[in-house]
Amino acid sequence: MKSNEVKQLFQKEGLRFTSQRNLVFDIMSKHPRPLTADEIYFLYLEQDESISLSTIYRILELFLEKEIITKTLLTDNNKACYVLRHGHKHLLVCLNCKKITEVKECPVHYFEDDIQNATQFKITGHKLELYGLCPECQ
Ligand SMILES: [Zn+2]
Ligand SMILES: [Zn+2]
């Protein structure tokens, strides 16, 4: 994603565009696999030394809040892993190599009406993540 597109995305989410937020976003788009905050921190330091791990966490919290990224079910040494979200898509995660494949279809929408009718719940969203072994790792 070009930096003016990132700017637009931030604007849409009501986020101020800063070089730190931009670089975190850039790192995550160039490494499309689940990354821990530590990994993002070290990748960041390779390009720019002016950041602390707590700032990385703050940016990740903000991105989570705005649903720019998502926490995956996968963890690394019990640490949360994060990936970028691209609109309404679901992820297939390889538990071995951590490769991520996006699933184009969303089967959950079909259930939502039934569940709403059965429970009188007003459903406003859902999370779905699939995991297993990719063809190379089987
Ligand atoms: Zn794999
Ligand atoms: Zn869905």
> Separation of 84 CA from ligand 2 center, angstroms?
15
> Separation of 96 CA from ligand 1 center, angstroms?
5
Task: For residue range 97-126, list pLDDT tens digits in order.
Answer: 988 898 888 888 888 889 999 999 998 888
Task: Flag whether pLDDT at 1 surpasses 80.
Answer: no
All residues at 6 or more sequence positions from 48 whose CB lies less than 8 Å from its CB, including other chains: 19, 23
Per-residue pLDDT, 138:
97
d(CA 39, CA 49): 14
Report the chain's mean pLDDT, rounded to a whole number: 91
Task: For residue range 10-44, list pLDDT tens digits in order.
Answer: 999 999 999 999 999 999 999 988 999 999 999 99
Average pLDDT over residues 82-92: 85
**93 alpha carbon, closest ligand:** 1
Whether 90 and 42 have beta carbons less than 8 Å apart is answered as: no
> Separation of 100 CA from ligand 1 center, angstroms?
9
> Separation of 54 CA from ligand 1 center, angstroms?
31
Task: Flag whether pLDDT at 72 surpasses 80.
Answer: yes
Residue at token pair 């063809």: 135
**95 alpha carbon, closest ligand:** 1
